[in-house]
Structure formats: C-alpha cells, structure tokens
Amino acid sequence: MSQPVFVLTRNLPGGDAITNYDICVAASKSVGRNGISGAQKIGALWRIYVSGPEARIDLLSKGLTIRNVHVEVSSQNPLIIRGGDGKEIQTTNLVISDIPISIANEAIEAALIKKGITLRSQLKMEGIRDPQGKLTEWLSGRRFALIDLPKTTIDSGINVGLFKGRLFYKEMITEIICRRCLEKGHSARFCTKEEVCLHCKKPGYRAADCSDKIKAGQDEPRKTRTGR
C-alpha cells in the first residue's frame, strides 16, 4: 500500500458530516475504484489510502469532487509544521477561556505574543452544539489556536485588558506542579510526599510556619488553639 494523501475536514463541504464512503466514492471517480484502498479520519484530518504510487500521483493531480465542490489533496500532513530546514516543528492546540466574547481576537493574539507564545494560526471561536451534537450559530466564548509547543512551562493565566483568562494545552498535564511537595506531574490532592514550604522550599512545614518568611515581616505566626 502506498503512502496516503491528506485532506483537512474543514476543507470539505459538509465538514464532519462527510463519511468514509463519501471520501472513497469521490476518490475512486478520480483514479478508479481499484486505485483506492480506504479512507480514515483521525482528528481533523482525512487520510486516503491508494493502491500504489501511480494512483497516488493521479489523485494528487486531480483532487476530489464532493457535493459538486472541488477539493485539493495534499501529499504531506498539513497539520505538521516544518521549518526552513524541512524538520518538523512540534505544535499543539491552545485553548483560551474566560475572556468575554466581545473582546477582539487581535487583542488576545497580542497578549499571547507578549507572553512568548508563537501562533501558527489565527484564533477561532468555539461554537455551541445542540443536544444532538450539531453545531449551532451560537458561540461558547472559548477560542482555539495552533501554536508552537512551548519549550518551557508557561503560566496558565493571561491578562487581556481588565480580564484574566486561562490557557490550556494537553501537554500541560505533565507540567502540573504539586503545591504540597513542589514536584511536577501530580496535584496536592493525590500527594503522599512530605510537605515543602512554598516560601523557602525547605521540607517539613507550611509557608505559614516558615521562620524565614516571618523574619522578613511577610507573615505573622499562626495562632494555635489550645484545649481547656
């Protein structure tokens, strides 16, 4: 089986309503029924598998016609970003929430760039789905963008005007820092390790009991309750 060709779901008329059968029928009209081995949708991308190199070249040159709309196909995965040297650039999908819909995308993009985030796409608004899962014309307020995968942990907060939004990408899960032991990879809720002071980073006590913090005048010793 030859290497597949690729089509983005968003480029298809009907989008998510298009089926494997629709793709195979359209592709077979371009290269013949025997030239197509199958079609597979993974995430936002369709992979169309052909029977050999000749069929692949033919499909790349002719493209697809679905619902009377001509759709170009790609020889490489269009979701993979490559640098000038041809090497793959690691990317991820960023979710921005808690910013009012009325705030312009340009203002959010400027705040992201100021934070050191490299955008690979413009921001897009998330649509609300009905109980049957179909998209409506209404907006949820969340926005999405493709970005370069940050090389270091970024703060999940972002300030846009008077509002503080939240950022999330799936790789952040491995960057969670426990506020009990200060180690990465888990939250304080599930921590079984010794507590570490958030102020001086020494083990054995909380920041409220830290002598360094008290000496610096940043806190008062906690009052302990005594029994009668």
User: How many Å apart are CA 65 and CA 22, to the nearest integer?
Assistant: 10
- The amino acid present at 195, given as its one-letter code, is E
Tens-digit pLDDT string for the chain (228 aa): 678 999 998 889 887 889 999 999 999 999 999 999 999 998 889 999 999 999 999 999 999 999 999 999 998 887 776 666 667 677 888 999 999 999 999 999 999 999 999 998 899 999 998 888 788 999 999 999 989 888 777 888 999 999 999 999 887 755 567 878 887 766 676 678 888 888 788 888 877 788 765 555 554 544 444 444
What pLDDT is attached to residue 43?
83
* Superfamily designation of domain 88-170: RRM (RNA recognition motif) domain (3.30.70.330)
**176-222: CATH topology:** HIV-1 Nucleocapsid Protein (4.10.60)
Picking from 203, 207, 118, 224, the residue whose alpha carbon sits closest to that of residue 169 is 118
Alpha carbons 135 and 14: distance in angstroms, whole number:
12
SS (H, E, C) the chain: CCCCEEEEHHHCCCHHHCCHHHHHHHHHHHHCHHHEEEEEEECCEEEEEECCHHHHHHHHHHCEEECCEEECCECCCCCCEECCCCCEECEEEEEEECCCCCCCHHHHHHHHHHCCCCECCCCEEEEEECCCCCEEEEEEEEEEEEEECCCCCCCCEEEECCEEEEEECHHHHHHCECCCCCCECCCHHHCCCCCECCCCCCECCCHHHCHHHHHCCCCCCCCCCCCC
User: How many angstroms separate the CA atoms of 209 and 127, rounded?
Assistant: 48
pTM of the model: 0.49
Q: Are 47 and 18 in contact (CB under 8 A)?
A: no
Q: What is the model's pLDDT at position 179?
A: 79
| Domain boundaries of the chain, sorted by first residue | 5-71, 88-170, 176-222
Least Cα distance to 186 among 177, 194, 197, 195 occurs for 177
